[in-house]
Amino acid sequence: MSNTEDHKEKGVYELGYLILPSIPEENVSEVVTRLKTIVTSAGGLEIASEDPFKMDLAYTMSKVVGARKYVVKDAYIGWMKFEVEPEAVPSMQNEVKAVDEVLRFLLIKAPRETAFTFEGARKALEEAAAPKEAQTPESGATIEPSA
């Protein structure tokens, strides 16, 4: 029956990841492309993503790679959202786990619409801070002539 094909409905997933800070900034994009190939090779179709940037972690994390133990206080954080068949997700999870450069990752179901981005949050923060800064020089200027 054609119904069997209908049952293979794709789901929207989000892969959030932390990349070890010991990797130089110019090589981070290589790790991201490797993660993207894991997604696309599993039949994933990218919907949205945000490139990683360096962020201070809320607590120290550690990861053992071979004989080395990395204890880190910061990491590059990024995410990508894609559409994929649910059957492909467990194997994708294993593949991401095998990437040495990835400190931690989170593969979850997500809504299709992207309401939040780090970039947008940063801008909102700047906008919230900017009016205050704009007001203080003005108020400073008004005080000067009176004085």
Contact 108, 92 (CB under 8 A): no
- In the complex, the smallest distance separating the C-beta of residue 116 from other proteins, rounded to whole angstroms, is 4
- What does DSSP assign to residue 21? T
Nearer to other proteins, 6 or 113 (CB): 113
Contact 44, 83 (CB under 8 A): yes
Chain positions 84 to 143 lying near other proteins, rule: CB under 8 A, are 104, 106, 108, 110-111, 115-116, 118, 121, 125
- What does DSSP assign to residue 7? H
Of 15, 31, 75, 84, which one interacts with other proteins (CB under 8 A)? 75
φ, ψ of residue 23 in degrees (nearest 5): -80, 130
Cα Rg, the chain, nearest whole Å = 21
77 near other proteins (CB under 8 A): yes
Nearer to other proteins, 51 or 87 (CB): 51
11 near other proteins (CB under 8 A): no
Contact 19, 74 (CB under 8 A): no
Which region, judged by CB under 8 A, interacts with other proteins, from 5-13, 73-81, 83-91, 135-143? 73-81
Q: Is the dihedral of CA 32, 55, 106, 7 positive or negative?
A: negative
Binding mask 30-69 for other proteins (x = CB under 8 A): -------------------------x-xxx-x--------
Q: Residue 69 in 3-state DSSP?
A: strand
Give the binding site for other proteins (CB under 8 A): 16, 18, 55, 57-59, 61, 75, 77, 79, 104, 106, 108, 110-111, 115-116, 118, 121, 125
